[in-house]
Amino acid sequence: MLHQFLPTHYHHALGPYAPVLTVRPGDSIATTTVDARGFDQRREQVCPRGNPMTGPFFVETAEPGDTLVVRLDRIVPSRSYGWCGSSVAPNVVDPVYVRELPEAPLAEWNVDAVAGTAKLIGPPSRLQDLTIPIEPMLGCFGVAPPRKQAISTATSAEHGGNMDYRGFVAGTTVYFPVFEPGALFFLGDGHAAQGCGEIVGSGIEISMDVQVTLDVLKGHAIGWPRGENAEHIFTVGNARPLDQCVQHATTEMLRWLQQDYGLDPLGANLLLAQCVRYDLGNVFDPAFTMVCRLAKRWLPAA
């Protein structure tokens, strides 16, 4: 079943809040998200800034210890105006270089969802023209955290949150551990495009039309967000420093390979040894993100 849902309020933390809609496993939801500063498709501010979330959606049957399955069906910019930071974040450069970072207004982009391009409009610099392909993604999404916590959309942890991984595009399926009855799924912070690391503190921020399909894996517990697309499976570690993200993501991948792909510890280690890839998610937030990725072609036959 496909639900059409238009949000009337937004959350700035992921927590055990009252659901806005209850769906059945397998249902789809078509909804909208505002940009990171709370502006909608008309460029009107409908809520305070700070990665406002649409949701939460309650998924029937989901209980703590299960896994929520989120298929990203469609992520399409709902307006043409995008913006991003114009300076690399101070924590991403050498401390002595901070004084050399420019101080400029937000950069503005003209996003053409039909042509699939984003064109940099300003502020003026020697860069002049820059037009890049869009790759619409969700920067921040996930479920209610454990222990009845409510965690700011500025950061991320086991429950997901502000991971800013370029792989969260339409066609990707994401798995989250369930900590609350109904899972309580939130989404927002759409980016028309984004460099690795979200090093200016933002992608090309824009409002989105989003469709997701939600499902539940009963009695299947995971430790960190996982995902897959046509070619890869991947695990997501959210922490600081990046070294710890690598530890979380790698451990989760080793567990996955043994849990679902029939490998023994040695087999799982040998497989990762020469086939693993890592991607950088967010390197700007309180918690950073690293992704451990493995091509499906190397997975053992079922």
Question: Which 42-81 positions form the footprint of a copy of itself (CB under 8 A)?
Answer: 50
Cβ proximity to a copy of itself, 183 vs 291, nearer residue = 291
Phi, psi of 197 (to 5 degrees): 85, -10
Task: State how far the Cα of 169 lies from the Cα of 153, in Å rounded to an integer.
Answer: 19
Helix or strand holding residue 50 (H, E): none
Q: Which of 30-38, 67-75, 177-185, 250-258 is the region at the interface with a copy of itself (rule: CB under 8 A)? A: 250-258
Cis amide bond preceding 52, omega within 30: no
Does 232 interact with a copy of itself (rule: CB under 8 A)? no
Cβ proximity to a copy of itself, 26 vs 133, nearer residue = 133
Enumerate residues 136-195 that contact a copy of itself by CB under 8 A. Answer: 146-152, 154, 193-195
Q: What 3-state DSSP class applies to 55?
A: strand
Cβ proximity to a copy of itself, 4 vs 97, nearer residue = 97
Choice from 98, 110, 117, 217 touching a copy of itself (CB under 8 A):
98
Choice from 68, 107, 137, 214 touching a copy of itself (CB under 8 A):
107
Inter-CA distances, 280 with 37, 119, 237, Å: 24, 24, 10
Exposure on the CB side of residue 116, measured as CA atoms within 13 A: 2
What interhelical angle do 242-260 and 265-275 show, nearest 10? 130
Cβ proximity to a copy of itself, 183 vs 268, nearer residue = 268
Enumerate residues 259-288 that contact a copy of itself by CB under 8 A. Answer: 262-278, 280, 283, 286, 288
Q: Which residues contact 15 (CB under 8 A, 6 or more apart)?
A: 144, 145, 148, 149, 150, 151
Binding letters toward a copy of itself, positions 189-228, x by CB under 8 A: ----xxxxx-xx--xx------------------------
Cβ proximity to a copy of itself, 197 vs 227, nearer residue = 197
